[in-house]
A and B are shown apart, each in its own frame.
Chain A
Amino acid sequence: GDSVTQMEGPVTLSEEAFLTINCTYTATGYPSLFWYVQYPGEGLQLLLKATKADDKGSNKGFEATYRKETTSFHLEKGSVQVSDSAVYFCALSDGNSGYSTLTFGKGTMLLVSP
Chain B
Amino acid sequence: DAGVIQSPRHEVTEMGQEVTLRCKPISGHDYLFWYRQTMMRGLELLIYFNNNVPIDDSGMPEDRFSAKMPNASFSTLKIQPSEPRDSAVYFCASSFRGTDTGELFFGEGSRLTVL
- Residue positions of A touching B, CB distance < 8 A: 32, 34, 36, 41-46, 49, 51, 89, 91, 93, 95, 99-102, 104-107
Contacts and interface: CB of A to CB of B under 8 A. Distances in A.
Contact of A43 (B50, B99, B100, B106): B106
Nearest to B31: A99
Contacts of A105: 42
Is chain B's interface secondary structure helix, strand, loop, or mixed overall?
A: strand
Nearest to B92: A43
Contacts of A42: 108-109
Contacts of B102: 32, 34, 46, 49, 51, 91, 93, 102
Interface in B82-115: 91, 93, 98-100, 102-109
B42 A106 contact: yes
The 5 residue pairs across chains A and B that have the minimum distance between CB atoms = A43-B106, A106-B42, A104-B43, A49-B102, A44-B106
Given A43-B106, A45-B106, 6 more contacts: A32-B100, A41-B108, A44-B104, A93-B99, A99-B50, A101-B56
